[in-house]
Chain A
Amino acid sequence: DTAVSQTPKYLVTQMGNDKSIKCEQNLGHDTMYWYKQDSKKFLKIMFSYNNKELIINETVPNRFSPKSPDKAHLNLHINSLELGDSAVYFCASSQASGNSPLHFGNGTRLTVT
């Protein structure tokens, strides 16, 4: 009955590989997000995506690309993984109004070796 689910929970891979993290929400929300949590547990938004617009954070390398097959899914693809990509990645969703709380997934811990 999970509202926002992301898989896998853990992902260990080598430098240079391409990987994907999947996210699904069953809340009927219009907006989904990807956040990166760094080693100091600071959450930074990477992307937000709704039915009408994809907003890309300029500080995110273009190796990261969100893909949304429908409004209930927002997957994160990462090409040519680097050591610095190691972090916990959180997916979230909300109503498009912006005044509703965000619902977060449990996170995916990515380790690049």
Chain B
Amino acid sequence: KQEVTQIPAALSVPEGENLVLNCSFTDSAIYNLQWFRQDPGKGLTSLLLIQSSQREQTSGRLNASLDKSSGRSTLYIAASQPGDSATYLCARIATVDSNYQLIWGAGTKLIIKP
């Protein structure tokens, strides 16, 4: 069974701290992995996409890494801000029989305290 697990389920930290969100998957034949943030009522915002051949991607204060051998991806957020408060989801994206298959983690709810 293909699964994506995100730990922790919730995280609350003071503003300014650096933090790491974890995503693990059981299928090493990953295609792409994408990190999203979800704000209430606004759907998903794509953050970073790591293709299967890549090891990391960076955008501003965000850095996402991918280690297929260990089945893990991490999202590093530097110098956290209250505006970073959201639910962060990772999704494994694969092509199965010409169908795009997205396997989602349950998300990590992040609260940054001012």
Residues of A near any B CB (own CB < 8 A): 31, 33, 35, 37, 40-45, 48, 50, 53, 55, 88, 90, 92, 94, 96-99, 101-102, 104, 106-107
Contact = CB atoms under 8 A, between A and B. Distances in A.
Contacts of B46: 42-45
Given A42-B49, A45-B44, A45-B45, A99 B100 contact: no
Interface string B38-63: 11111111100101000000000000
A52 to B, nearest CB: 9
A84 to B, nearest CB: 18
Interface stretch (B11-19, B20-28, B71-79, B101-109): B101-109
Contact of B99 (A31, A99, A101, A107): A107
**What is the size category of the interface that chain B forms with chain A?**
20 to 34
B109 A40 contact: no
List of 10 A-B pairs having minimum Cβ-Cβ separation, nearest first: A98-B40, A48-B43, A33-B43, A42-B49, A45-B43, A107-B100, A41-B32, A98-B41, A41-B93, A43-B46
Interface of B: 31-32, 34, 36, 38-46, 49, 51, 87, 89, 93, 99-100, 102, 104, 106-107, 109
B44 A99 contact: no
Contacts of B109: 99
Given A88-B100, A97-B40, A99-B40, 5 more contacts: A37-B100, A41-B32, A98-B38, A101-B106, A107-B99
B41 A96 contact: yes
A53 B99 CA distance: 31
B32 A48 contact: no
A41 B31 contact: yes
A47 to B, nearest CB: 9
A98 B93 contact: no
A101 B6 CA distance: 13
A42 B44 CA distance: 12
